[in-house]
Amino acid sequence: MTLRHYHATPVPPTTRVRCPVCHESVYSQAGIHPQCAVRQSDPPRPKPKPPTSTPAAGITPEVPGPALAEAVVDPSGS
């Protein structure tokens, strides 16, 4: 059994000030949450760039070639 009547008017929304950062009701006299004020005063952080999987144009990947074969020492000692 419901005690609330469906024709009753809904509860009015709060008349409190909204925080300009998070848009929640604020209970402080400054009109902004302290943690939101700190976040707002911090400089924006740059977004990290995603790594690129393809090599840049004009740059060829290093491939081991004959120079690597010359650096191998003969283990037999002759």
7-34: pLDDT as tens digits: 666 667 778 889 998 989 898 888 999 9
Which domain, by its residues, includes 25?
Answer: 15-41
Give domain status of residue 5, yes or no. no
Report residue 77's pLDDT band, with 50, 70 and 90 as the boundaries: low
Give domain status of residue 19, yes or no. yes
Asked if the model's pLDDT at residue 49 lies above 80, the reply is: yes
Higher pLDDT, 33 or 54: 33
Give domain status of residue 3, yes or no. no
Number of domains present in the structure of the chain: 1
Shortest CA distance to 30 belongs to which of 42, 39, 41, 17? 17
Whole-angstrom distance, CA of residue 2 vs CA of residue 77: 97
DSSP letter at 5 equals -
Say what the pTM is.
0.40
Give domain status of residue 70, yes or no. no
